[in-house]
Amino acid sequence: MSENTPQRIGDYEIIRELGHGGMGKVFQVRNVLTDRVEAMKVVLPDLAGRSDFVSRFIREIKTLAGLDHPNIATLRTAFTAGDQFVMIMEYVEGVTLADKLQRGPFSTADALNYTSQALSALSYAHSKHVIHRDIKPGNMMLTPQGVVKLMDFGLARSVDEVGLTATGATLGSLDYASPEQVQSLTTDERSDLYSVGVSLYQMVTGKRMFSATSSFSLMQAQVKEIPRPPIEIVPTIPKPLNEAIMQSVAKDPALRFQSADAFRNALSQIAAGDAPATSVPADIPAMATARPPADPGFTVPFEPQSQSNRNLLLVMGVVLVAALLAGAAVYKSRQHRESDQAAVAPVQAAPPQANPGTPADNLPAQSPPAPPQVPQAQPEGTTSAVAQQPAVVAHKTKPQATAPDYGNSPSAEDIQAQQQAALERKRQLDAMETEVDHLDGRVSSVESGLSALEQQMQRDGFGLRGDMVAARSNMRNDIAKAKQAMDSGDTERARHFLDLAQHEVEKLEAFLRGH
């Protein structure tokens, strides 16, 4: 467990981190009241303020809360802890089918068994008007008892919901996405069945249905290319299974199986004439039951400020700090002079209200000044606070009147520390200014590349991948906030958003290199 991993959230003790993604982290946890081991999915604190992330997370919570099926990972509860959104799920011990596929293709019997269980879960979800939209072997967990658990409903939606998938925001994993998903068209339950068919294709052949090397070419293949029949790759595959797979991945939804039950019945008939399912290995390690989905984002316009103006303000701030603190020290010294050496003018102030039992000729009470603060730069023609301090009366014949105690006045070391802090902040902002200049160049290159790619894809009727749309939006938003923080002199906040922007730029650069 990393140093940054919390030891406890609410009534749940963190055992270990199971996984993380752009949206959050998943932990194995123990409920300290029941001792039950469960899985905890947490939205990252940095993202909790982004309404789109929170909306998606809450939608997943509400979707899972309405589902209760032996082949779907169960939602236990959900709550907020500080600025974090938390979801507690059934902890499923096992491996994903994607991990199991790394050892090679499955036997026909195992592939039919696992797929039938996934279809049983989908039949139930579809009956509740819930479309998963991200079916793939990585979202199917296999337990040591041979039970398949469908998980990660982060992209799920109700068939009654609208506006969740806008043009240019393709969701799901492209290797398993239906043609209508790739084209950002309206999807229904048959889109999930297409993804099941692609997963089954990989289970029996050990290969991806399309071997495209870039996102764009993969999207084209999903829409236009007829896949190679699996029986040509593995000749021992039963012909009825080959035909069922090819039907499930038809480009036209009307030519596919029209329901999860119809698909499952076809597989049951194939299994009836095949060998019994093989046993599941007993030494399956534990993994998480949920994984965070891709990151959406939004755009905030920004107006960069000049470095010279910011430097001037910082220099003026340093000078004013020194002047104010030095004036306060001199002012205190004058208050402690011997009264017989004082020759001062009367105080120009409103007469104080007399208290009962106090001689009328006593001095008015003086309020000690507030601790020195770093002032903002003042417009021309204004007078600093130091120059406006009133004179103090020292009356030799009134010994009962004592000077106020200014014990909080700064020492010379304090003054020097204030000056050093201001200069260090200026140095950090100068370094960040250089970093932003370099980052702006990379951002311009990324924006140009994405615009050219979008134009090319739109000519073919495609939209940019949803996670890349989100990354571009996050990049713009984060660099805008970094510049705003720099303009206000907040180095810590500026550093935070610069790091976030750098991460999004790197993600987009890697995406463009693949094209």
Catalytic residues: 134
Q: How far apart are CA 260 and CA 131, in angstroms?
A: 12
The residue type of 119 is L
Question: Please, what is the Cα angle at 316 between 313 and 319, to 5 degrees?
Answer: 155
Contacts of 36 (CB under 8 A, 6+ apart): 30
The H-or-E segment that residue 233 falls in is helix 230-233
Q: Is 168 left (phi over 0), alpha (psi -120 to 50) or beta?
A: left
Cβ–Cβ under 8 Å, residues 192 and 248: no
DSSP 8-state class, residue 378: P
Give the closest residue to 119 by CA, choosing from 41, 45, 60, 189. 189
As a whole number of angstroms, the distance between CA 448 and CA 393 comes to 71
What residues have CB less than 8 Å from 268, skipping those under 6 apart? 116
Give the contacts of 359 (CB within 8 A, at least 6 positions apart): none
| Among candidate residues 93, 103, 102, 118, the one with its CA nearest the CA of residue 18 | 93
CB 461, CB 183: distance < 8 Å? yes
Task: Give yes or no for a contact between 213 and 219, defined as CB atoms under 8 angstroms apart.
Answer: no
What angle is formed at CA 180 by the lines to CA 177 and CA 184, rounded to 5 degrees?
95
Nearest to 61 by CA among 142, 134, 156, 187: 156
DSSP readout, 168-188?
T-B-S-GGG--HHHHTT----
